[in-house]
């Protein structure tokens, strides 16, 4: 039988939510760029109601809309 290694849980790391330091604007821009690249049209993204969880996570609503550009 193989020996199972137990890993200690780093509680400080779990409780230190690094997502709080991430710019919501940067997230919106990044998501919009990925969707636009995948679809081939310009999209914009808005993020609302950000709630950070105790274990280094976040819950939020993402809205993605086609950007209307009359010149295209």
Measured CA to CA, the distance from residue 36 to residue 42 in angstroms comes to 5
Q: Give the model confidence (pLDDT) of 22-66 as tens digits.
A: 999 999 999 999 999 999 999 999 999 999 988 888 999 999 999
DSSP letter at 71 equals T
pTM of the model: 0.71
């Amino acid at each position: 039988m193989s020996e199972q290694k137990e890993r200690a849980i780093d509680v400080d790391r779990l409780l230190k939510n690094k997502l709080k330091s991430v710019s919501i604007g940067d997230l919106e821009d990044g998501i919009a760029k990925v969707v636009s690249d995948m679809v081939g049209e310009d999209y914009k993204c808005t993020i609302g109601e950000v709630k950070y969880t105790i274990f280094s996570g976040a819950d939020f609503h993402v809205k993605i809309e086609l950007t209307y550009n009359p010149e295209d």
